[in-house]
Structure 1
Amino acid sequence: MNSPRTDAPFPRVVFDLDGTLVDSEPNYYEAGRRLLARYGVTDFSWEQHTRFIGIGTRETLTVLRTEYGIETPVDALLAGENALYLELAGSSTEVFPEMRKLVERLHSACVPMAVASGSSRAAIGAVLAVTGLDAHIPLYVSAEEVPRGKPEPDVFLEAARRLGAEPADCVVLEDAPPGAAAARAAGMRCVAIPYVAETADDPAFLAADLLFPGGQSEFTAEAVYEWLRLAGGPGTTGTIG
């Protein structure tokens, strides 16, 4: 890793939500599985679900609607999945422990933070509330509020705008290649924590400024906080693990 930059200002921090801050993918899978079962699709597997990790719910349903020949409009499918997901999220959403530590430490240091997610605004708000993260990160942006979802940069650029920051002064934490690609397209630095181990060598992750190839099992709040504080200047890259 490059030498620390002690003169660099602390960047704004933008978190992806699902799979990064919280382990919500099992809930999204179950919501999608139940939704598809209503339309006669009974073989939707976890392996199939992992294709869509990091991609917005609307984009995911658009693909699945075509693949399974479902005639129901995407908006109706989206409403159905959101209702199912909110029911699950309200009782069983867990924050990754080291992520909670990082959020609390950044909050104590008065570092501005935001969430930028492909989930609906209602889903983001519900998850932040049920986990208590809303006390530390009140600002969040949904892909439904911007023209294009990840891997396009729109949701991150909007988060930077609401934070009152330039993209180059923001660092994104992401668990999926489309999100890492979106961060790069936005001109932001990226800390990559792969949710799916097999994606760790994806080019979008390999181009990240800080990579934890082992995902959450290797991620520590201390390592990232120190990287942000000391080595967060432009041009600093590294891999941990």
Structure 2
Amino acid sequence: MTGPSAVVFDTDGVLLDSAPLHAAAWKTAFDGCLDSWAQTGSGSRRPPFDADGEYRELLDGKPRYDGALAWLSVRAVDLPPGAPGDPPGCGTVWAVAARKEQAFNRMLDTGAVQAFADVAPALRVLRTQGVRCAAASASRHARPLLEAAGLLNLFDTVVDGTDAARLGLAGKPDPALFLEASARLGVEPQDAAVVEDALAGVDAGRRGGFRLVVGIDRAGNPDAANALVERGADVVAADLLAAVEMVCGARP
């Protein structure tokens, strides 16, 4: 049996060092609403957003609305859905999601998101092995950020949040985003690998029937690595070069 002939990479936290910005933007969005929610009857003022554990468990890798709804549900904050055009605020789920987007855009204005140093070398190794590569992300920022980091030309295709909205692709842990990427590569899921750092992402890779699901734990956190395995990762790598070795090692 041959190994994967294509790899679908998550973007935030795998290719780009943008996960801390997303977590910080969510913290700005949620913590800024705590007093408002308490005053309007959504309960007493709750603890601040946990930009580590709560971000990783509830938000990482998900579309903005899905992530906002997941956190609000866990925190028992009952808000109406609202509409995608809601301005940033605290009164609807879409408004909270817009508040996060506003905070994230402000952070981007202060400096570019950097690619991890191991990304370009790892992608070049795959190219020499004849492995096709795709980047996939629920974020509408993914394509321009990859271009700004000088990585866009190293991928055969990119599926981002704009594509997901246009095609009506469900967010992770639904595998739709990854399945679209593998379809664009002309490869069946059982002949492809997924590389992810998010719990929802490895779950999506497993649900999609991908040959190999590689979790990334750059922080070297045993608990985080175990959680990735529990949610669907076949193996966990410390960085992208190690992940690529695992993919190439599965080849004849």
The TM-score range, normalised by the shorter chain, is 0.7 to 0.9
Alignment of 1:207-218 (within 5 A): 208-212=233-237, 218=238
2:109 corresponds to 1:93: no
- Seen in structure 2, the aligned counterparts of structure 1 residues 205 and 22 have a Cα distance that, compared at 3 Å, is farther
What corresponds to 2:188 in structure 1? 166
Deviation (angstroms), 1:75: 2.9
1:17 and 1:116 in contact (8 A); partners too:
yes
**Deviation sequence 1:84-118 (CA, Å, 0-9, x none):** 22332352422222223212333455532111223
| 193, 199, 203: which one aligns with 2:216 | 193
- Seen in structure 2, the aligned counterparts of structure 1 residues 87 and 169 have a Cα distance that, compared at 3 Å, is farther
Alignment of 1:57-76 (within 5 A): 57-66=64-73, 67=75, 68-70=77-79, 72-76=91-95
What corresponds to 1:18 in structure 2? 12
- Seen in structure 2, the aligned counterparts of structure 1 residues 159 and 65 have a Cα distance that, compared at 3 Å, is same
Deviation (angstroms), 1:174: 0.8
**Deviation sequence 1:13-33 (CA, Å, 0-9, x none):** 100111111221210112112
Q: TM-score, normalised by structure 1?
A: 0.76
Equivalenced residues, count = 219
The alignment partner of 1:26 has SS state of: helix
What corresponds to 1:83 in structure 2? 102
What corresponds to 2:133 in structure 1? 113
1:192 and 1:205 in contact (8 A); partners too:
no
2:153 corresponds to 1:135: yes
What corresponds to 1:54 in structure 2? 61
Q: Name the Cα RMSD after superposition.
A: 2.9
The alignment partner of 1:97 has SS state of: coil
- Seen in structure 2, the aligned counterparts of structure 1 residues 65 and 89 have a Cα distance that, compared at 3 Å, is same
1:141 and 1:159 in contact (8 A); partners too:
no
Q: TM-score, normalised by structure 2?
A: 0.73
Unaligned runs of 5+ in 2: 36-46, 81-90
Name the CA distance, whole Å, in 1 between partners of 2:56 and 2:21: 13
2:205 and 2:232 in contact (8 A); partners too:
no
2:4 and 2:193 in contact (8 A); partners too:
no
1:82 and 1:123 in contact (8 A); partners too:
no
Query: Higher mean Cα deviation, 129-138 or 102-111?
Result: 102-111
Name the CA distance, whole Å, in 1 between partners of 2:55 and 2:132: 33
Name the CA distance, whole Å, in 2 between partners of 1:74 and 1:207: 29
2:30 and 2:96 in contact (8 A); partners too:
no
Query: Higher mean Cα deviation, 110-119 or 167-176?
Result: 110-119
Deviation (angstroms), 1:165: 1.3
Deviation (angstroms), 1:176: 2.1
Deviation (angstroms), 1:199: 2.2
* Structure 1 counterpart of 2:149, one-letter code: T
2:190 and 2:209 in contact (8 A); partners too:
yes
1:180 and 1:208 in contact (8 A); partners too:
yes
What corresponds to 1:45 in structure 2? 50
1:14 and 1:116 in contact (8 A); partners too:
yes
2:250 corresponds to 1:231: yes
Alignment of 1:143-158 (within 5 A): 143-144=164-165, 145-158=167-180
| 170, 180, 195: which one aligns with 2:202 | 180
Deviation (angstroms), 1:10: 5.6
